Structure 1
Amino acid sequence: MSTPSPGPAPSSGTPSVWAVLGGTGFIGSAVRSALAARGVEIRAVSAPRLRTDAADVAGLLKEAAALDSERRRLADAFAGVDVVVNAAGLATPGAADSPELRGANSLLPALVADAADAAGVRRFVHLSSAAVQGHRPFLDESPHVEPFSAYSRSKALGEQVLSARHGGSCSVSTVRATSVQGPGRATTAKLSRLAASPLASVAGPGTAPSPVSSVDSLVDFVLRVGSHTGPVPAVVLQPWEQASVSSVLEAAGGRRPARLPVWFCRTALRSGYALSSLAGERLHGALRRVEMMWFGQRQEPGWAEATGNVPEPRVREVLAASRN
């Protein structure tokens, strides 16, 4: 993985201290490496393993408020910290609904936000997923969500429980990460194999924008959000890296994808989702990957573009490196 460009300095005036939850995971470890390269003091904080049967915002807020011992432990770990990044959670798009999935992706963000408030943290950056907006024609920074699977519903609940919290001095910003790729990630290896195979294909001419992105640019963006001295919206979308569905497959597989009729692709997806629904959504994750390969998804410009906080696109470089 290449080192992200420095971007804005992570501190202004006084030295900055960042705490990272999920620091051993794919994205969390990349955040820690980038902060270390900038000379920032980092605290690796272990995230509690939570389970919950709550399936709505009110229930999650009630459970978060009852977790006194965990909240105190996290608040103690955050003492003197300027920015907290939550990169913990279960990144399992094909998983079935479970108390563990909701605990990690829906309940944990509320608990961490409460602890950050108690510790006087300046900003809490929570990593969510653009999957919360599902099959919409475009991704944006609005609160509108259309989750389509157990995973995307758990991430959407995590966003909603943060927005439903009242008061607190800590600024809370959710970063909606798109389809993040990088060396060493299993999903990237699968993408490379698919892109190099005869199954690599796009709908129509293949010029549709793709939300496939690089871990380097995501990390750069997370650091920009955390270090920004002005206000940041409650939800910000990882900026588009200027890739099309065809260019993603060419970079990942080293060959041009086949072009399929649009009508065929749409019919196949409708049939596939109908069958998957009958099977308890077991195929929804795989079908969504095919849908993104064929049609991609447009992204609306948002806070990053308005404030000049757009990282350098690196997705083609990262995909080519993963292929090699």
Structure 2
Amino acid sequence: MSGPLIALTGATGFIGRHLLTALSARGYRVRVLLRRPVEVPEGASSAVVGDLARPINMAAGLSGVDAVVHSAGLAQAMSGAPEDDFRSSNTEATRRLAEAAHRARVRRFVFLSSVRAQTGPSAPEPIAETDAPEPTDAYGRSKLAAEQALAQTGLDWVALRPALVYGAGVKGNMAALLSLARSPYPLPLASLSGRRSLVSVESLSTAVATVLQAAGPLDRPLIVADPDPLSLPEMLSALRSGLGRRAGLVPVPTPLVGLVCRMTGRGEIFDRLSGSLIARSDELAALGWRPAQASPDGLAALARNSAA
């Protein structure tokens, strides 16, 4: 292979595994930066072992690299983690890697941030990058601080802020929603009207490819979200459609649904998915990005493939 060389962090994680496959398929050579000696993931052209908290091997890892795609970090699902842990893993590690990339004369740094760097778990109006960021938890604050650190490095950088990501191997709230869709019972969720933006991991991968190829400098965050926000009933209907089943949703007053969810240990899922969070990707679309599929089709495919 003779394509541009990409250094990828987080290649063993949910998003990173998909990025490795997608970038390799597009002709990029991908050097994975690993925290510990493990088998080199399939699709990687090379690997370097190093710790972002102590970047001893970063000079070797970034030698000859055209761009960095940084997807490693402490996930939002680790909601019980202390704020210092988010700051260390998501902010300081990103800053150190970016500084090493600047010394290595890397052309562009692509950071996998989050829509939570922009807002809390819900928002009354559609959000865009031009809105003042107002993260409400340690995870979102750590991602925003990492973006701000990137802006001070002198690198050509871009931070992708994906909405809720779904795809094969997903964990967290989306995995719990898929489990709920698989249940054989009718679900009392038909009355929930809040709409949320989603993005498939395939569409996120095309967004990474888009910003890698875009003329620079970029030097800004970009929201990544499918254009068709869905309500929770629509998400479940799409998932059950992929399983070959009817939606099986019945109307129950929303406050009662919230009470039952909290009593059964699903309160966090209810809080995160019942409110509205609509994100706009106009700036990314202006660079030529198009989602790989519509959200209902992607959710149906996720459920169908998970049952195979």
**Code of the aligned partner of 1:177:** P
Matches within 5 A, 1:200-215: 201=189, 203=191, 206=193, 208-215=194-201
2:47 maps to which residue?
A: none
User: Which residue does the alignment assign to 2:236?
Assistant: 249
Q: Which residue in the other structure is 1:125 paired with? A: 110
Q: Aligned AA for 2:20?
A: R
Cα displacement (A) at 1:68: 11
Which amino acid is the alignment partner of residue 127 of structure 1? L
Specify the alignment match of 2:46 in structure 1. none
Size of the aligned set, in residue pairs, is: 272
1:29 aligns with 2:23: no
The equivalent of 1:177 in structure 2 is: 162
- Give how far 1:128 is off: 0.8
Shift in CA distance, 184/72, structure 1 to aligned 2, threshold 3 Å:
closer
Q: Structure 2 stretches of 5 or more lacking a match? A: 37-50, 242-246
Q: TM-score, normalised by structure 1?
A: 0.73
CA 1:293–1:69 in structure 2 vs 1: closer, same or farther (change >3 Å)?
Answer: closer
State whether structure 2 residue 7 is matched by structure 1 residue 19: yes
Q: Is the 8 A contact 2:195 2:274 kept in 1?
A: no
Verify: 1:148 aligned to 2:128, yes or no: no
Specify the alignment match of 1:190 in structure 2: 176
| Higher normalized contact order (CA 8 Å, seq sep 6+, divided by chain length) | 1
Alignment of 1:37-116 (within 5 A): 37-46=25-34, 70-71=54-55, 73-93=57-77, 94-116=79-101
Q: Structure 1: any 5+ residue segments left out of the alignment?
A: 1-13, 49-66, 273-282
**Partner secondary structure for residue 57 of structure 2:** helix
Partner of residue 318, structure 1: 298
Q: Name the amino acid aligned to 1:185.
A: V
User: Cα 1:322–1:227, aligned 2, differ >3 Å: closer, same or farther?
Assistant: same
Identity of matched residues, %? 30
Aligned residue type for 2:234: S
Note the alpha carbon deviations across 1:201-259, whole angstroms, 9 max, x for none: 2555x3x5421221111111111112212332410000324141132221123415444
CA 38–212 in structure 1, closer or farther in 2 if over 3 Å, else same: same
CA offset at residue 194 of structure 1?
Answer: 2.2
The change in CA–CA distance for 1:305 and 1:217 in structure 2 (over 3 A counts) is same
TM-score, structure 2 as length reference:
0.77
Amino acid of the residue matched to residue 111 of structure 1?
A: R
DSSP 3-state at the match of 1:299: coil
1:317 Cα deviation after fit: 3.4
Question: Does the Cα contact within 8 Å between 2:258 and 2:270 map onto a contact in 1?
Answer: no
Matched residue, 2:40:
none
Separation in structure 2 between the aligned mates of residue 91 and residue 159 of structure 1, nearest angstrom: 16
Instruction: Measure how far apart 1:20 and its partner are.
Output: 0.1
DSSP 3-state at the match of 2:206: helix
CA-based RMSD of the aligned residues comes to 3.0
Q: Which one of 204, 215, 230 corresponds to residue 229 of structure 1?
A: 215
In structure 1, distance between residues paired with 2:198 and 2:96: 30
1-side partners of 2:250 and 2:91: how far apart? 39
CA distance in 1, matches of 2:145, 2:267: 22
Aligned residue in 2 for 1:298? 278
Is the Cα contact below 8 Å between 2:197 and 2:227 reproduced in 1?
yes
Q: 1:259 to 1:225 in 2, by over 3 A?
A: farther
Q: CA deviation at 1:71?
A: 4.6
Contact 1:136–1:146 under 8 Å retained in 2 = no
Structure 2 Cα separation of the partners of residues 22 and 319 of structure 1: 24
